[in-house]
Amino acid sequence: MPKTDIARRVYNHTWKLDPIVRSLLDTDFYKLLMLQMIWQLYPDVDATFSLINRTKTVRLAEEIDEQELRDQLDHARTLRFTKKEMIWLAGNTFYGRKQIFSPEFLSWLAKFRLPEYELSRRGGQFELTFRGRWVETTMWEIPALAIINELRSRAAMKGLGPFTLDVLYARAKARMWSKVEQLRHYPNLRISDFGTRRRHSFLWQRWCVEALKEGIGASFSGSSNVLLAMDNDLEALGTNAHELPMVAAALARDDRELAAAPYKVLQDWNQLYGGNLLIVLPDAFGTAAFLRNAPDWVADWTGFRPDSAPPIEGGEKIVAWWKKMGRDPRDKLLIFSDGLDVDTIIKTYRHFEGRVRMSFGWGTNLTNDFAGCAPTEISGLNPISIVCKVSEANGRPAVKLSDNPLKATGDPAEVQRYLKFFGTEDFVEQSVRV
C-alpha cells in the first residue's frame, strides 16, 4: 500500500482534506470499554471534563487560532459511527472475547454524537469544558486533546516551505526508525501504541503504527487507537482510566465511601469484563494508599498499570506487594505507560526480565518526538503536558492525586482534603514533561 507523503500533505493542507478527527473510532479503546460500563451502571451521573495545560509556559490561546479550534470541535460533533465501524465492533474479538459489547449498548452507540462544549480564553490559555451526562462527556477527552495538539503542530509549521517540511519529517522518521532498531534487540519485548492523546498529528501516528508493525513484528502488540487498530488489523488495547475512581470518590457521601471508591469501581469493572481485562490502575489517590487498603481479591487480578511513579521503583513496589499477598509475580503482568521512551523501556525491561510479565504502552515520545528535527528551532513542535480530566461529578469536585504531586488535578482545597485522607506516602515529585 503506498504511504502518504506527510510533508507534501502538510504543505498542500486544506481543512476539508484533513479534519483532525475523522471518525468517532479515532479514540482510545479504554474509552469504549468504560463507556459501556458508564452506560450500564451510571447512566444518570453528570460529569464535567476540563482541559488542563500543565505546561504553563506555553500559552495555547496565543499559539492556536480560536476559530480553527471551534471549526475542528464543531466538525467532531457532526461525526457518527459508520456501519462498517459498528459491524467491526460487534463482530471482532477483543482480549480473546467475542461480543464484548452488548447488542443493546451498540444500538445506543450507533446514534451517539459528541455533546456541546464551552470555550473561552483566560490568561493566554483556553478554557475548554464539557458538561452533561457522564455517558456523553467522557467521549470528548481523546478528540479534544488530539485536536488541540494537532492544531498546535499545524500552527508551528505554517509558513514552512516544502523542502523544510521534507527535512523535518525525514529527520523525525529517521529518529523513529533508530528506536525501532534498538527495540529489535529484545524480541520478547511487548510494545503497544498509546500515543493518541498527545500525537503530533493523525497522519504521523498512523505512520508510527505502521512502522512498528513492520519494524518489530510480533513484538508490536497493537494500538490503543481503535480506528488504527481496525484499519491495520491490529489488537485494540486498553482497559480503564483514572476517571472511574475520580467520579466514584466525588460521589462518596462519607469517609467510608471515599475509602472504598477505588475498589468499588474495580468490582463494577469485573462485573462487566473479567479475564485479561482485569488490570488495576492504582495511583489515582496514590499507589501506597491503594495497596495498603486493597482487599485480598485485588491480588488475583491479571496485573497492574503503574502510571505515575518511576517505572522501576513503581514496579518493584507492586512486585513486593504481590509477594506479600502470596502471589507469584511471574504469573502477573505489569503495564508501563508513563512518559516512556526507548531507553526507559529497555532499562525497565532488562530490570524485570524473568521476574514478571511486562508490556509497554508507548505514548507521547512515540507519536510526538519532533524536538530538534526542524532545520531551525521551532518550540511549537515540542510536546506539552496537556490533559482533559473530570473536574466535577454531579456538581461535586473531582480530584486526582497520582504518585507525582505535580500531576495532581482538582480544586486546591479538595486536593488538600484528599492528601490528608489518603496520605502522601511514596510520593515522588518529578518534572512533568508529557
pLDDT (0 to 100) of residue 8: 81
Average pLDDT over residues 3-17: 75
Average pLDDT of the chain?
95
**Model confidence over 87-139: pLDDT tens digits?**
999 999 999 999 999 999 999 999 999 999 999 999 999 999 999 999 999 99
Instruction: Give the integer Cα–Cα distance in Å for 319 and 352.
Output: 10
pLDDT (0 to 100) of residue 149: 98
pLDDT over 70 at 17, yes or no? no
pLDDT (0 to 100) of residue 16: 62
Using 50, 70 and 90 to split pLDDT, how confident is the model at 10?
A: confident
- Burial classification of residue 93, based on how many CB atoms lie within 10 Å of its CB (0-12 exposed, 13-18 middle, 19 or more buried): exposed
Instruction: Give the integer Cα–Cα distance in Å for 236 and 27.
Output: 11
pLDDT (0 to 100) of residue 11: 76
Helix/strand/coil for 411:
coil
**Model confidence over 280-326: pLDDT tens digits?**
999 999 999 999 999 999 999 999 999 888 999 999 999 999 999 99
Using 50, 70 and 90 to split pLDDT, how confident is the model at 408?
A: very high
Q: Please name the residue that has the C-alpha cell 467491526.
A: 88
**Model confidence over 211-263: pLDDT tens digits?**
999 999 999 999 999 999 999 999 999 999 999 999 999 999 999 999 999 99
* Single pTM value for the model: 0.96
Q: How many CB atoms lie within 10 A of CB 178?
A: 10
All domains in the chain, ordered by first residue: 6-378+388-422 (3.20.140.10)
Output 100-103 pairs: Cβ under 8 A, ≥24 positions apart. Answer: 100/33, 100/273, 101/32, 101/36, 102/36, 102/40
Which residues are registered as beta bridge partners of 52? 387
Q: Give, in order, the Cα–Cα distances in Å from 226 to each of 30, 105, 385.
A: 9, 17, 23
- Classify the C-alpha dihedral 398-400-401-407 as positive or negative: negative
Instruction: Give the integer Cα–Cα distance in Å for 222 and 219.
Output: 9
**Contact between residue 373 and residue 381 where contact means Cβ atoms under 8 Å apart:** yes
**Contact between residue 129 and residue 50 where contact means Cβ atoms under 8 Å apart:** yes
Instruction: Give the integer Cα–Cα distance in Å for 244 and 393.
Output: 11
Give one DSSP letter per residue of 130-150, joined into a string.
E-SBHHHHGGGHHHHHHHHHH
Edge to edge, the sheet with strand 396-397 lists 118-122, 125-130, 47-53, 386-393, 396-397
pLDDT over 80 at 431, yes or no? no
pLDDT (0 to 100) of residue 14: 65
User: What does the block give as the cell for 160?
Assistant: 514552512
**Contact between residue 184 and residue 218 where contact means Cβ atoms under 8 Å apart:** no
**Model confidence over 130-181: pLDDT tens digits?**
999 999 999 999 999 999 999 999 999 998 999 999 999 999 999 999 999 9
Using 50, 70 and 90 to split pLDDT, how confident is the model at 1?
A: very low
**Model confidence over 383-400: pLDDT tens digits?**
999 999 999 999 999 999
Lowest-confidence region among 364-368, 377-381, 413-417: 377-381
Q: Helices (DSSP H) in 217-335: which residue ranges?
A: 226-231, 243-251, 255-272, 287-293, 311-324
Q: Give, in order, the Cα–Cα distances in Å from 57 to each of 22, 144, 248, 383.
A: 30, 20, 33, 12
DSSP state of 3: P
Contacts of 412 (CB under 8 A, 6+ apart): none
Instruction: Give the integer Cα–Cα distance in Å for 204 and 213.
Output: 14
